[in-house]
Amino acid sequence: MENKKVLIGMSGGVDSSVSALLLKKQGYDVIGATLELFTGSSCCNMNTYLDAKNVCASIGIPHFTYDFKEEFKNKVIDDFIDCYANCKTPNPCIECNKYMKFGIMYEKAKELGCDFIATGHYAKTEYSNEYKRWILKKSKAGKKDQSYVLWNLPKELISHVIFPLSEFESKEEIRKIANENNLKVANKPDSEDICFVPDGNYKRFLENNSNIKPKAGNIVNQKGEILGKHTGLYNYTIGQRKGLGISYKVPLFVLGFNKEKNEVIVGEEKELYKKEILVKDINLLLVDEIKGKMNVEVKTRYSSNCANATIRQENNIVKVEFENPQRAITPGQSAVFYIGDIVLGGGKIM
Which CA distances in Å does 175 have to 15, 35, 51? 8, 23, 15
159 and 31 part of one domain: yes
262 and 278 part of one domain: no
How far separated are the first and last CA of the chain, in Å rounded?
A: 48
89 and 151 part of one domain: yes
258 and 159 part of one domain: no
d(CA 82, CA 88): 8
Handedness of CA 279, 280, 285, 286 (dihedral sign): positive
Residue 94 lies in a domain: yes
* Per-residue pLDDT at 39: 80
Residue 261's CATH number: 2.30.30.280
Residue 189 lies in a domain: no
d(CA 123, CA 130): 20
Residue 186 lies in a domain: no
Print the domain residue range for 23: 5-180
Q: Would you write out the chain's pLDDT as a tens digit for each of its 350 residues?
A: 356 999 999 999 999 999 999 999 999 999 999 999 988 776 667 788 899 999 999 999 999 999 999 999 999 999 999 999 999 999 999 999 999 999 999 999 999 999 999 999 999 999 999 999 999 999 999 999 999 999 999 999 999 999 999 999 999 999 999 999 999 999 888 877 788 998 889 999 999 999 999 999 999 999 999 999 999 999 999 999 999 999 999 999 999 999 999 999 999 999 999 999 999 999 999 999 999 999 999 999 999 999 999 999 998 999 999 999 999 999 999 999 999 999 999 999 99
100 and 235 part of one domain: no
76 and 15 part of one domain: yes
Q: Hey, which residues are catalytic here?
A: 96, 195
Looking at the structure of the chain, the number of domains it has is: 3
* Per-residue pLDDT at 3: 64
Residue 20 lies in a domain: yes
124 and 259 part of one domain: no
53 and 155 part of one domain: yes
Instruction: Count Cβ atoms below 10 Å from residue 197 Cβ, excluding itself.
Output: 20
d(CA 114, CA 133): 21
Residue 299 lies in a domain: yes
Residue 333 lies in a domain: yes
314 and 339 part of one domain: yes
* Per-residue pLDDT at 50: 92
- The pTM of this model reads 0.95
What is the arrangement of strands in the sheet containing 253-258, beginning at the earlier edge strand?
A: 226-230, 217-220, 263-267, 253-258
Which CA distances in Å does 35 have to 45, 155, 267? 11, 22, 44
With 0-12 / 13-18 / 19 or more C-beta atoms within 10 angstroms meaning exposed / middle / buried, residue 80 is buried
Listed residue (26, 52, 22, 13) closest to 177, CA to CA: 22
> Per residue, what are the HEC states of the chain?
CCCCEEEEECCCCHHHHHHHHHHHHCCCEEEEEEEECCCCECCECHHHHHHHHHHHHHHCCCEEEEECHHHHHHHHHHHHHHHHHCCCCCCHHHHHHHHHHHHHHHHHHHHCCCCEEECCCCEEEEEECCCCEEEEEECCCHHHCCHHHHCCCCHHHHHHEECCCCCCCCHHHHHHHHHHCCCCCCCCCCCCCCCCCCCCCHHHHHHHHCCCCCCCEEEECCCCCEEEEECCHHHCCCCCCCCCCCCCCCCCEEEEEECCCCEEEEECHHHHEEEEEEEEEEEECCCCCCCCCEEEEEECCCCCCCEEEEEEEECCEEEEEEEEEEECCCCCCEEEEEECCEEEEEEEEC
* Per-residue pLDDT at 44: 67
* Per-residue pLDDT at 1: 37
Residue 294's CATH number: 2.40.30.10
